[in-house]
């Protein structure tokens, strides 16, 4: 695979079906001009049989595949959690997301999900349902067009961070429907580097005793990396870390403050952990997203003094954000979440970050296996993520998704099922 592309070479016996293509470059002014692929899928029809070893470049498909949306629907996707999910900025009692279903004129269906996380995503559930309905009507009214034009329509109707979550859900559903149409799994569509990933698992802000109980459970399930939500109480955070070490002594730590610390507090955490002989593998969003100076200070001290990388999450919600992070050396890792930028926006950020030499993390916003399946396929297909944080379905007490990826402890295995392979029993969802 090209180091910057979404492409896997075709076997010699199938290459004759495809035509050479000059370097694919975006016509967006802000986007880095990075070659993506040199082969294109020569198709505009509905279905092409999948053969082992065959791969289709996603960006070429944007130009060559014609979509005709027959139906687009959205409904509430409410799922209980095992226990409340508390982070520095919010507390979630249950998941109240939005499921999106798109059906093409060829009968192929795609599924997406717009997560709703208060104080993190901009949309609430009623707004997301309304906006998904609006863009769905526009897609149905639109005459047949290539996938890229349809995606442009979605972006223009649901622009910016304000509608990023629902934009991501609609884009997921449309891409999934197209992958179903050409009969290939998403991990192959996005590059085919791997068909599996290994995720960390999150311990929310909770008591030290409960955190230790969760850590012991996850140890027994085979999780090697624990992501700890911190940032509300510095002393309590240190106590939780100490208790977890007593039950899972060899685990790796990711600390996620969700903007919770002031600059000096974040540095104190690193100092205290160093005294305890604990070095986190990553320190995620230690300060408020608008505290750019503090982010840079913490990042440089963490890197130069303790050998710890700092990840920008809430501080990186757009292409302009990642460019600022690169130019001012504010973080060493970018956390990619589809709900922050949409699918196409995330791909742009991935390309710029990789070109700048930043490491990548992929995460989620308390989604079911619909959205996590899509993100997991993207991560497996590209193979460029150093940190995988796609555990949120494991925090739900119910799994409404049928099919999809296989779970074995911390390992997700993606099959050759078409698209991301997951679906819902649509009529069982609330209107």
Catalytically active residues, by annotation: 229, 337
| In the block, residue with structure tokens 């106590």 | 239
How is residue 258 annotated by DSSP? T
Q: What's the Cα-to-Cα distance from 331 to each of 217, 289, 294, 323, 424, rounded to whole Å?
A: 32, 12, 11, 11, 38
- Output the six-digit token pair for 45: 């029809």
State yes or no: 284 annotated in a binding site: yes
What is the CB neighbour count within 10 angstroms for residue 12? 8
State yes or no: 256 annotated in a binding site: yes
Q: How far apart are CA 291 and CA 326, in angstroms?
A: 16
Helices assigned H by DSSP within 20-113: 58-64
- Distance, CA of 8 to chain centre: 21
Any idea of the CA torsion for 253, 234, 311, 210, to the nearest 10 degrees? 40
Element (H, E) at 342: helix 338-355
Contacts of 305 (CB under 8 A, 6+ apart): 270
| In the block, residue with structure tokens 């034009």 | 149
Q: What's the CA angle centered on 22, arms 19 and 26, to 5 degrees?
A: 120
Residues of the binding site: 256, 284, 313
Residues of the binding site for Mg(2+): 256, 284, 313
């Amino acid at each position: 695979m090209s180091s910057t592309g979404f492409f896997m070479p075709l076997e010699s016996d199938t290459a004759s079906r495809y035509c050479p293509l000059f370097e694919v470059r975006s016509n967006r002014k802000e986007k880095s001009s990075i070659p993506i692929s040199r082969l294109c899928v020569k198709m505009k029809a509905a279905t092409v049989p999948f053969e082992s070893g065959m791969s289709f470049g996603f960006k070429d498909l944007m130009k060559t595949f014609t979509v005709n949306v027959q139906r687009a629907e959205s409904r509430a996707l409410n799922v209980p959690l095992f226990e409340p999910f508390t982070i520095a900025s919010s507390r979630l009692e249950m998941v109240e997301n939005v499921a999106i279903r798109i059906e093409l004129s060829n009968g192929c269906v795609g599924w997406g999900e717009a997560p709703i996380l208060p104080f993190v995503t901009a949309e609430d559930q009623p707004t997301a349902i309304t906006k998904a309905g609006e863009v769905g009507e526009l897609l149905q009214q639109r005459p047949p067009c290539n996938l890229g034009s349809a995606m442009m329509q979605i972006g223009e109707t649901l622009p910016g961070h304000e509608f990023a979550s629902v934009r991501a859900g609609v884009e997921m559903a449309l891409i999934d429907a197209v992958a179903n149409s050409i009969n290939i799994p998403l991990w192959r569509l996005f590059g085919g580097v791997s068909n599996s990933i290994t995720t960390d698992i999150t311990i929310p802000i909770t008591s030290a005793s409960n955190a230790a109980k969760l850590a012991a459970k996850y140890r027994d399930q085979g999780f090697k990396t624990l992501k700890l939500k911190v940032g509300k109480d510095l002393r309590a955070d240190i106590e939780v870390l100490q208790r977890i070490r007593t039950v899972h002594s060899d685990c790796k730590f990711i600390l996620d403050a969700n903007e919770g610390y002031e600059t000096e507090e974040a540095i104190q955490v690193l100092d205290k952990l160093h005294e305890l002989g604990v070095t986190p593998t990553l320190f995620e969003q230690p300060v408020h997203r608008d505290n750019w100076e503090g982010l840079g200070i913490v990042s440089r001290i963490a890197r130069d003094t303790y050998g710890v990388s700092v990840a920008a999450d809430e501080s990186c919600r757009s292409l302009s954000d990642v460019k600022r992070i690169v130019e001012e050396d504010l973080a060493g890792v970018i956390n990619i979440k589809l709900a922050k930028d949409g699918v196409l926006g995330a791909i742009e950020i991935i390309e710029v970050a990789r070109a700048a030499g930043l490491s990548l993390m992929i995460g989620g916003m308390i989604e079911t296996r619909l959205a996590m399946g899509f993100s997991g396929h993207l991560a497996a297909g590209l193979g460029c993520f150093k940190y995988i944080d796609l555990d949120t379905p494991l925090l739900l007490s119910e799994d409404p998704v049928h099919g999809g990826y296989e779970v074995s402890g911390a390992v997700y295995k993606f099959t050759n099922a078409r698209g991301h392979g997951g679906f819902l029993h649509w009529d069982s969802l609330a209107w």
